[in-house]
């Protein structure tokens, strides 16, 4: 007989804590939340029916469709153990050729490498006879593309904050030898107001320093000129060019190169001529011109972009600290985040012994997937605290600048009044 599914809504806390340390292997032998889900997977008729209807898979309850592609669609998911909303990418294996299978394998491997607050994270892979499911971090605020279109364009101060986050994400990727190859506003997603994440790594690839690539990838409006005229190209230069197009789009509201056809667009990109609106600041123009140079060798590097005056007052998020799936007792005692992760895992019924056994399966393990979701929750809380502190500091800074401007304004008015009074006295 299956366990009633409504029992999953009331997970119990199991395990033991002693002072600041947690016993990883001692679990209360009462049935745990994890065991309840495993029971459902194996024996519950209602659950099995939901699976056949596409309403559930593994530890996930599936909801509304968020988007679709040629051989895939993305649905909103709920991880039943952690109650975390996720995005589940569902791929039909019968529609995938050898090339698309290779791209998917790269996407999985590359997402596995990255640990950054502005990059969508991969939690778990579930595979059935006919489909592949990727559970990923859910950024539910919509695409940057739609946000810009709805607002016509973004003020430079707002664009700076968002662009600094995307730039930080790309720096993290390149430092780990990963090239995105499809950077565009449609692949940048809002996780919260003023907080974005770079996603969709379907065209990403791993490279060695100086390695040349020869496959045309990405969206034509964001394509670098060397993609149209050279047999091979350096991936990092192509990503940097795409960042320049993205930045221009954010501030201006359209891309710098446009055409009725790909042939016309190619002609415009190779010509290299574009203009700025009168409202664009000189520093913004200088930065974009430095990125969108025809010669990739003279194009600004990522560090050049980061150090540019236009971004001099911006915060650049750094990569997350990497934690072991099987922490030592010392790490458990010394690191608050590690304790928080294992307190939650323990409450769900997942022990260190279970994690050790599951670790070899990596992304294909439901236990590892649960760990990654909890890790994301813990690190997101830490990141939110940093964002709140940053916002507070920025607000204080703006208030100080406002007060200074007011003081300067008062001083100027006094000087002007003194001048007028002096002239009047002279006349008299």
- Choose the catalytic residue: 9, 92, 182, 239: 182
Residue 400 CA: distances (Å) to CA of 150, 390, 397: 32, 15, 5
Strands 56-57 and 21-23 come out as unpaired
Residue 315: what are its φ and ψ, rounded to 5°?
-95, 130
Q: Is 305 exposed, middle or buried (0-12, 13-18, 19+ CB in 10 A)?
A: buried
The whole-angstrom separation of Cα 69 and Cα 295 is 34
Which residues make Cβ contacts (< 8 Å) with residue 192, sequence separation at least 6?
141
| Half-sphere exposure of residue 377: CA atoms within 13 angstroms, side-chain side | 19
* 89 assigned to a ligand binding site: yes
DSSP 210: T
Instruction: Provide the b/e sequence for 201-224 (b: ≥16 CB within 10 Å).
Output: bbbbbeeeeeeebeeebbbbbbbb
Q: How many CB atoms lie within 10 A of CB 324?
A: 10
Q: In terms of residues, how long is the chain? A: 428
Residue 58: what are its φ and ψ, rounded to 5°?
55, -130
The whole-angstrom separation of Cα 212 and Cα 259 is 28
Concerning whether 230 is annotated as a catalytic residue, the answer is no
Instruction: Provide the b/e sequence for 59-98 (b: ≥16 CB within 10 Å).
Output: bbbbeeebeeeeebebbbbbbbbbebebbbbbbeeeebee
3-state secondary structure of 141: coil
* Radius of gyration in angstroms for the set of CA atoms belonging to the chain, rounded to a whole number: 26
Which residues make Cβ contacts (< 8 Å) with residue 329, sequence separation at least 6?
21
In sign, the C-alpha dihedral spanning 89, 94, 98, 100 is negative
The residues that are catalytic are 182
Residues of the binding site for ATP? 89
């Amino acid at each position: 007989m299956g366990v009633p599914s409504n029992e999953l809504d009331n997970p119990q806390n199991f395990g033991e804590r002693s002072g600041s340390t947690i016993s990883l292997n001692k679990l209360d032998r009462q049935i745990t939340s994890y065991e309840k889900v495993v029971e459902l997977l194996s024996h519950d008729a209602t659950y099995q029916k939901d699976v056949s209807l596409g309403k559930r898979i593994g530890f996930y309850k599936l909801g509304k469709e968020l988007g679709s592609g040629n051989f895939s669609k993305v649905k909103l998911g709920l991880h039943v153990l952690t109650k975390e909303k996720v995005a589940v990418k569902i791929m039909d294996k019968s529609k995938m050729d050898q090339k698309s299978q290779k791209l998917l394998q790269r996407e999985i491997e590359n997402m596995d490498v990255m640990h950054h607050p502005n990059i969508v994270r991969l939690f778990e892979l579930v595979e059935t006879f006919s489909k592949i499911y990727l559970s990923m971090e859910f950024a539910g605020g919509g695409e940057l593309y739609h946000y810009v279109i709805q607002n016509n364009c973004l003020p430079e101060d707002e664009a700076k904050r968002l662009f600094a986050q995307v730039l930080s994400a790309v720096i993290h990727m390149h430092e780990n030898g990963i090239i995105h190859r499809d950077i565009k506003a449609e692949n940048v997603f809002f996780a919260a107001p003023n907080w974005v994440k770079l996603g969709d790594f379907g065209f990403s690839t791993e490279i060695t320093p100086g390695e040349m690539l020869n496959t045309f990838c990405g969206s034509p409006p964001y394509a670098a000129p060397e993609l149209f005229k050279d047999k091979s190209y350096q991936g990092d230069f192509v990503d940097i060019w795409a960042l320049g197009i993205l930045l221009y789009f954010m501030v201006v509201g359209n891309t710098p190169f446009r055409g009725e056809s790909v042939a016309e667009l190619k002609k415009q990109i190779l010509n290299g001529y574009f203009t700025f609106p009168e409202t664009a600041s000189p520093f913004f123009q200088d930065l974009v011109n430095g990125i969108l140079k025809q010669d990739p060798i003279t194009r600004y590097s990522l560090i050049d972009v980061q150090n540019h005056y236009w971004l001099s007052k911006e915060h650049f998020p750094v990569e997350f600290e990497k934690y072991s799936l099987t922490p030592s007792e010392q790490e458990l005692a010394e690191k608050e985040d590690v304790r928080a992760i294992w307190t939650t895992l323990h409450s769900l019924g997942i022990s260190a012994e279970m994690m050790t056994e599951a670790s070899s399966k990596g992304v294909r393990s439901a236990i590892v997937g649960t760990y990654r979701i909890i890790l994301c929750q813990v690190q997101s809380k830490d990141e939110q605290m940093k964002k709140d502190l940053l916002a507070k500091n920025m607000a204080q800074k703006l208030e100080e600048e406002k007060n200074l401007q007011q003081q300067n304004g008062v001083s100027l008015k006094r000087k002007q009044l003194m001048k007028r009074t002096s002239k009047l006295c002279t006349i008299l």
